[in-house]
Amino acid sequence: MRAAVCRAYGPPDRVAVEELDPPTLGPGQVRVRVGTAAVNFPDVLLVAGTYQIKVPPPFVPGSELAGEVTEAAGDVTAPAVGQHVFGSTLVGAFAEEAAVAASSLTVVPPGVDDRVAAAFGVAHRTAFHVLKSVARLQPGEELVVLGAGGGVGLATVQLGVVLGASVTAVASNADKLRAAAAFGASHLVDHRTGDLRPALRQVLPEGADVVVDPVGGALAEPALRALRFGGRFVTVGYASGEIPRIPLNLVLLKGVHVLGFQFAEFARHRPGDMRRNDTELLALLASHRAFPHIGAAFPLDGAAQALACVAEGKAVGKVVLDITGH
Ligand SMILES: NC(=O)c1ccc[n+]([C@@H]2O[C@H](COP(=O)([O-])OP(=O)(O)OC[C@H]3O[C@@H](n4cnc5c(N)ncnc54)[C@H](OP(=O)(O)O)[C@@H]3O)[C@@H](O)[C@H]2O)c1
């Protein structure tokens, strides 16, 4: 099979396509003929060797996929051979075939293609768990989304609108803000045009109820300052490369709640919430009320370029690799 391979840690251009033996199937796994894989920020970090989990090279990157089950280990009861599935894994998705734990896969609802399914799981599930169970967003509330043109950010904009909030999107260029507007954002703020705090005060004079921050860095503090008394700030990621430090006197004076979300910890500590949210989100996907914006698609041979697009923050919404589909 053909696969993109990382033979040494480094920038995205270390990744190149090679002919490999198909992966062997372990207990609890199914073999997936990968239709589409989606690119996520942690894939870049795994290739760079700077992610919290290290995978020794050589390895096939790729943590999110959709495709058809072609074989199942003897102990697997579902999904069945022939079903289309989507889900995530640590590595291995940038290949024609992947061996994936059956328990981490979901059957693709009728009428949803591999591309949409592949690009849906990580970003939309993160956004939905954050909004429903961490921020506890209520209809009519004012939600500010940083990195609103990125994968998690755009999903947060869309699901915030679905949950009845008024959404202010903060991003770095017109393409990203256009995508956020198409997903229902009411206010658009380009953070490159000046100080974020006055820009947010202008559109939200009464302050925001919730800020969702997948970016970190210099934008976090002015966004937190834009909260009303008692508002909620949710830290989700640090795509800027910088973990912000918030002066605690701001928290004291404004009476705000600073909250965090991390997928594995949420799954471990709140499995009931996760199951309930995932069921609700799958229904939104099946009814086409929730879907990813796919900003760029590459063939498998373009894996390095796809990783670079995400590494440089250029992606609008999700970046995908069309492997055996399309
Ligand atoms: N906590 C969790 O469980 C969880 C789950 C999923 C993802 N995450 C994390 O959330 C973050 C965002 O993920 P994503 O998939 O939305 O990423 P993405 O699609 O690449 O979007 C990230 C956004 O960050 C901004 N950014 C600012 N400086 C950047 C830089 N130096 N490089 C890249 N982007 C930069 C960009 O927005 P502007 O151009 O508008 O500034 C970009 O659109 C990542 O750190 C990821 O690891 C965490």
In tens digits, the chain (326 residues) has pLDDT values of: 999 999 999 999 999 999 999 999 999 999 999 999 999 999 999 999 999 899 999 999 999 999 999 999 999 999 999 999 999 999 999 999 999 999 999 999 999 999 999 999 999 999 999 999 999 999 999 999 999 999 999 999 999 999 999 999 999 999 999 999 999 999 999 999 989 999 999 999 999 999 999 999 999 999 999 999 999 999 999 999 999 999 999 999 999 999 999 999 999 999 999 999 999 999 999 999 999 999 999 999 999 999 999 999 888 999 999 999 76
Q: How far apart are CA 64 and CA 123, in angstroms?
A: 10
Residue given tokens 């909030």 in the structure block:
165
End-to-end, the C-alpha distance of the chain in Å comes to 18
Q: How far apart are CA 324 and CA 326, in angstroms?
A: 7
Give one word for 198, left, alpha or beta, with left for phi > 0 and alpha for psi -120 to 50.
alpha
DSSP-assigned letters across all residues of 242-274: ------HHHHHHHT-EEEE--HHHHHHH-HHHH
Q: How far is the CA of 71 from the centre of ligand 1 (A)?
A: 35
pTM of the shown model: 0.96
Q: Is the C-beta atom of 236 inside 6 A of ligand 1?
A: yes
Report the pLDDT value the prediction gives residue 326, as an integer from 0 to 100.
Answer: 63
Q: Is the C-beta atom of 145 inside 6 A of ligand 1?
A: no
The count of C-alpha atoms lying within 13 angstroms of the C-alpha of 33, restricted to the half-sphere facing its C-beta, is: 10
Query: DSSP H helical segments within 204-318, as ranges?
Result: 220-225, 248-254, 263-269, 271-286, 303-311
Q: How far apart are CA 18 and CA 231, in angstroms?
A: 50
Q: How far apart are CA 229 and CA 218, in angstroms?
A: 22
Report the pLDDT value the prediction gives residue 52, as an integer from 0 to 100.
Answer: 87
What order of strands is seen across the sheet that includes strand 227-235? 187-190, 166-171, 142-145, 208-213, 227-235, 257-260
Q: Are 87 and 125 in contact (CB under 8 A)?
A: no
Nearest CA to ligand 1 atom 8: 237
Closest Cα to residue 238, out of 206, 260, 257? 260
Q: Is the C-beta atom of 237 inside 6 A of ligand 1?
A: yes
Q: How far is the CA of 239 from the centre of ligand 1 (A)?
A: 4
Q: How far apart are CA 210 and CA 230, in angstroms?
A: 10
Q: How many residues in total does the chain contain?
A: 326
Q: Are 203 and 227 in contact (CB under 8 A)?
A: no
Q: How far is the CA of 214 from the centre of ligand 1 (A)?
A: 5
Residue 142 to residues 34, 167, 197, 205, Cα–Cα distance (Å):
39, 6, 15, 11
Q: Which of 128, 196, 236, 261 to mutate to test the pocket of ligand 1 (most atoms within 8 A of CB)?
A: 236
Q: How far is the CA of 152 from the centre of ligand 1 (A)?
A: 7
DSSP secondary structure code for residue 54 in this structure:
-
